[in-house]
Amino acid sequence: MSYLDKIRLAAAIGAVIAVLPPVILKAEDPKEKAIHGTIQLPNEGKQEAAQASLAKLTVQQAIDAAVSRQSGTVLRVELQNEDGFLVYNVELASADKKVHEIKVDAGDGSILRIDVDSADDRETENEERAD
């Protein structure tokens, strides 16, 4: 990887990190299976800065892994702490108007979990947040 590619990667990851919501350390829904990835994060502060340097996959590689499992239009990609492990959260909108939230391991590109919501549910949720 050339120096310029490393700079581009750092800028892309920095942009993703800049829009991350607060870090969630535990699964919110008790029905959700906990994530177990390959890169475990420390419980100390400044995790956002450490996340970018620990990821072994680029944003594009995470998107490619997600799209290989579920076709659709990419809505959002975030590098985040999921249950103490570093994952890319790739959201895709499929042709049947469902939003697939695909958790991609930032270390090896494996798919850790896929959550599915209808796009209509997401629009209602976004409207409620705007109020």
| pLDDT in the model for residue 121 | 58
DSSP β-bridge partners for residue 113: 103
Q: What percentage of the chain has pLDDT greater than the value 70?
A: 60
Q: Tell me the mean pLDDT in the region 78-83.
A: 91
Average pLDDT, the chain: 77
Confidence band for 26, pLDDT divided at 50, 70 and 90: very low
| Structural domains of the chain, with CATH | 3-130 (3.10.450.40)
Q: What is the pTM of this model?
A: 0.61
| pLDDT in the model for residue 2 | 66
Confidence band for 53, pLDDT divided at 50, 70 and 90: confident
Q: Is the pLDDT of residue 124 over 70?
A: no
Q: Is the pLDDT of residue 21 over 50?
A: no
Distance CA 53, CA 55 (A): 6
pLDDT digits (tens, 9 = 90+) for 1-18: 666 565 665 555 655 554
Distance CA 16, CA 7 (A): 14
CB atoms within 10 A of CB 33: 10
Confidence band for 108, pLDDT divided at 50, 70 and 90: very high
| Residue 113 Cα distances to 55, 80, 88, 107, angstroms | 18, 14, 11, 15
Q: Is the pLDDT of residue 81 over 50?
A: yes
